[in-house]
Structure 1
């Protein structure tokens, strides 16, 4: 049976005008004139046989029929948008969904994806994040996270150790001669990772609490790393978070003392996915990148004369 539909342009014009309460705002969204929107809505009203708006001098007021139609249309257009996006995202090649914390994704994984695509152009990588209460989803191919052991039912492969080092801008580093100078600095702290500075203080042979001159707290590592780049103070950072900034000279490690915390960065996946073509490619590439990442720690560790720098303490924090 053939559908007897009103004009799609008329429906789009009405839906936009109804959401905005204005023909002018709808015209801007649809990139047409206000007159065109008004005319399309009027033609739709003629087609339906009842008014959709009460037109006032400076506003539009939906009629009861208009309110009912607007709600259904907005849902329908949203559904069409989602369907179009999902179809557009479909590819013929293998797809890999990796769950990864936002800081590691932004500072380490995403900047390296261009290299992955050069080696595996047919594999599509999709990023996803979980959270403290749900660190992995069943529809993910794999996940990268810090912990001491694999999640129940998952295989785990060690990528690199969990290590932290202080970082700051070169300008700020020029004022720091020894770790004890941190007492006169502003320290950048991530609020839900309170143990990382104490771990490093112990590795450096400093007492705790240190009582620095200032302290700035952030809710996430992303914000803390940006604050360090902006010269706000000295941050304590997981080495993968800052390896690129260190290599580029945007950040420096004023004291090359590396403190090891509990756990490691792990690649985890269910055994049933072990032969997944996309995962096979990603695993091979990821381990190569992890080998390179470990070299940063080695370079820093060569200058580490404090024997207590390699230690295990505390609980592995979240990304």
Structure 2
């Protein structure tokens, strides 16, 4: 026997769900751009189709029946999912637009400086930057996101871009004073509010005695790194944020110890996005670019402990 899907009128379903959510036919009518009488008629036809009352109608208000409440609870997420799916399918037709959700520091210190290369390779591709990244939930209108973590985000696909490795950095003049680990005790150690574990992690891996980290605190890595460039103190650098500054001589990594943060940077997206040509072009470019950015093992060293001079 062939199963036949029997569905009610979508217009009736939309009218009911809007009225149930808004609490009145008038409010639903405004949302749906129809008249209150049209909403009332669509809901009544839906009730006849289902054979059950969804609203108890009073002089000045509507109340949901038990059946109506059960229907509303199930319908709202279904309609939300349908709206998201529709947006994704529409986006597949917008082949040349990619919206990337990314933290402000990653955007400024790594992604934006490299977009000219992407533009030269794919001049028809429009990249839109939505800052937030790891600090906010993944937004439905993002094509993809770049996030710091362990690669496990339920409902998403994630491909690793590079490891997040830690090492102290300072302006060249200040870095000359850092000829041994104990020299850090005489310097201002800059902090990042959401990463209080970075300094203790690096000091422990370097075999250093604990140091009280009491320097200025910043909301983002980018702010702490700019303060280090300006000579305010020593910042805990995280790759890839520091790579360009080190290459340009704005920052120096005075110690040979590079410690894994215990997380990595990932390109995160919903599976449905993989079929979009624009995203495929962006994905290929960023994976190639990230692969060229990661320092070779001999340079990174992945040293977890080091003997320092006395």
TM-score (ref. length: structure 2):
0.65
Contact kept? 1:257, 1:300, Cα under 8 Å = no
Query: 1:200 pairs with 186, 199, 202, which one?
Result: 202
Contact kept? 1:229, 1:251, Cα under 8 Å = yes
Task: Tell me the residue number matched to 1:270.
Answer: 270
Unpaired runs of 5+ residues, structure 2, are 1-93
Contact kept? 2:188, 2:233, Cα under 8 Å = yes
Residue 129 of structure 1 and its aligned partner are, at CA, apart by: 2.2
1:68-103, Cα deviation, whole Å (9 max, x unpaired):
xxxxxxxxxxxxxxxxxxxxxxxx861000000000
Matches within 5 A, 1:79-118: 94-118=96-120
Contact kept? 2:189, 2:215, Cα under 8 Å = yes
Task: Tell me the residue number matched to 1:126.
Answer: 128
Structure 1's consecutive aligned runs of 4 or more residues displaced over 6 angstroms after TM superposition are none
Residue 237 of structure 1 and its aligned partner are, at CA, apart by: 1.5
* Mapped partners of 1:215, 1:207: distance in 2: 17
* Mapped partners of 2:179, 2:136: distance in 1: 43
Unpaired runs of 5+ residues, structure 1, are 1-91, 310-319
Matches within 5 A, 1:117-266: 117-130=119-132, 134-208=136-210, 210-211=211-212, 215-266=215-266
* Mapped partners of 2:179, 2:189: distance in 1: 16
Residue 149 of structure 1 and its aligned partner are, at CA, apart by: 2.7
SS of structure 2 residue aligned to 1:186 = coil
SS of structure 2 residue aligned to 1:108 = helix
**RMSD, aligned α-carbons:** 2.0
Residue 152 of structure 1 and its aligned partner are, at CA, apart by: 1.6
Residues 199 and 133 of structure 1: is their aligned pair in 2 closer, same or farther, counting only changes over 3 Å? Answer: closer
Residue 116 of structure 1 and its aligned partner are, at CA, apart by: 0.6
SS of structure 2 residue aligned to 1:138 = coil
Residues 300 and 217 of structure 1: is their aligned pair in 2 closer, same or farther, counting only changes over 3 Å? Answer: farther
Contact kept? 1:160, 1:266, Cα under 8 Å = yes
* Mapped partners of 1:131, 1:157: distance in 2: 15
Matches within 5 A, 1:69-80: none
1:154-187, Cα deviation, whole Å (9 max, x unpaired):
1000110121111111100111111221011111
* Mapped partners of 1:131, 1:110: distance in 2: 14
* Mapped partners of 2:154, 2:125: distance in 1: 28
Contact kept? 2:95, 2:276, Cα under 8 Å = no
* Mapped partners of 1:166, 1:299: distance in 2: 18
Number of matched residues?
214
Residue 307 of structure 1 and its aligned partner are, at CA, apart by: 4.1
Task: Tell me the residue number matched to 1:58.
Answer: none
* Mapped partners of 1:132, 1:108: distance in 2: 15
1:10-66, Cα deviation, whole Å (9 max, x unpaired):
xxxxxxxxxxxxxxxxxxxxxxxxxxxxxxxxxxxxxxxxxxxxxxxxxxxxxxxxx
TM-score (ref. length: structure 1):
0.63
Residues 130 and 219 of structure 1: is their aligned pair in 2 closer, same or farther, counting only changes over 3 Å? Answer: closer
Task: Tell me the residue number matched to 2:40.
Answer: none
SS of structure 2 residue aligned to 1:233 = coil
Contact kept? 2:104, 2:132, Cα under 8 Å = no
1:247-269, Cα deviation, whole Å (9 max, x unpaired):
01111101021110222100011
Task: Tell me the residue number matched to 1:59.
Answer: none
Residues 261 and 142 of structure 1: is their aligned pair in 2 closer, same or farther, counting only changes over 3 Å? Answer: same
